[in-house]
Amino acid sequence: MDTLPLGGGRPCLRPNVSHDEALAEFSRGGWVGRLARGPLRRLADIYIPHRVYRVAWRDGEASKVLFLAVDCVCADFDSYMFPAVPAGAELIEVRTRNCPEPRLSKGQARSAALDRARRLAYERGLLRIKDLSLAADLVLPELLIPYWAGFFGRGERASRVEVLDAVRRRQEGGKLRAFVAKWLTIDSCISNGLYYPAGGYHENCREPEIA
């Protein structure tokens, strides 16, 4: 993942997984994994655009504030929570076309943030809430979240895509994998070393250096 001096690109949460670490993660699984999904053919850095909201909830005299990042592609991926607006050393700036265009309006993303906050209030054991009120204000209109995408397959085709969260260091589930597989033209990545979403050319899709 190429970084730029501040002011040179789009704000992105600082990744915790390097190219070599992602390669090692995708190469795990032994012969059973290789048999099931085929060899790793390509490795690419991708980014999902998010919006960050300051969410305040109140129930009577009790109140809480958190900062919630929701994806503005479909509002269906795991959200990020922060104690404050990400800034400074938490961020890098990138120039990339490996990023889908936002599909949700600001109003839709705000509604998604409120829905997510409402679920969090109850999931965290706040079951005595009787009169919950929520407010969400946009504080960061764009924050890219970095991921690594691994393309697996045999011959001239990639039959499987796996996605690694480059911040949380965890493999993503079916929702994000399905989105990435649909978004990218996998066959052109394998045959040409490039891949093309609807928005245009993708860079940094290269054959992994496997010893």
The tokens 């993942």 sit on which residue? 1
pTM of the model: 0.79
90, 14 contact by CB (below 8 A) = yes
Q: What is the pLDDT of residues 73-122, one digit of tens each?
A: 988 898 899 999 999 999 999 998 889 989 888 889 999 998 888 887 77
Of 196 and 90, the one with more pLDDT: 90
Rg of the chain's alpha carbons, rounded to an integer? 19
φ, ψ dihedrals at 207, nearest 5°:
-70, 130
- Predicted local distance difference test score (pLDDT) of residue 182: 82
- Predicted local distance difference test score (pLDDT) of residue 65: 87
Determine the number of helices (DSSP H) and then strands (DSSP E) in the chain: 5, 8
- Comparing CA positions, the residue from 67, 125, 73 lying closest to residue 103 is 73
The tokens 């969400």 sit on which residue? 136
Local structure of residue 102 (DSSP, 8 states):
P
Q: What is the pLDDT of residues 145-158, one digit of tens each?
A: 999 998 888 766 66
154, 161 contact by CB (below 8 A) = no
